[in-house]
């Protein structure tokens, strides 16, 4: 596969980071933090209702 200039184009690569700190912080930030916020909001709604 060649680019416009006739040079071979670099294929984009998707790299997966398997570093333990990255996996833990990513899962906490994307799942556990919103889950905790949602639970707290529901508890507050339950207490008011």
Q: Measure the CA–CA gap between 49 and 41, rounded to whole angstroms.
A: 12
Structure tokens at 43: 């508890």
8 has which bridge partners?
2
Evaluate if pTM is beyond 0.85: no
Residue 40 has pLDDT above 70, yes or no: yes
| 3-class state of residue 35 by DSSP | helix
Q: Kindly indicate the confidence band of residue 4, based on its pLDDT and cuts at 50, 70 and 90.
A: low
Tell me what percent of the chain is helix, strand and coil, each rounded to the nearest 5. 60, 5, 35
Q: Kindly indicate the confidence band of residue 23, based on its pLDDT and cuts at 50, 70 and 90.
A: confident
User: Are the CB atoms for 3 and 9 separated by under 8 Å?
Assistant: yes
């Amino acid at each position: 596969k060649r680019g416009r200039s006739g040079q071979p184009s670099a294929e984009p690569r998707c790299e997966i980071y398997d570093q333990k700190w990255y996996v833990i912080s990513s899962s906490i930030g994307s799942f556990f933090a919103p889950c905790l916020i949602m639970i707290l909001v529901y508890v507050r709604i339950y207490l008011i209702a």
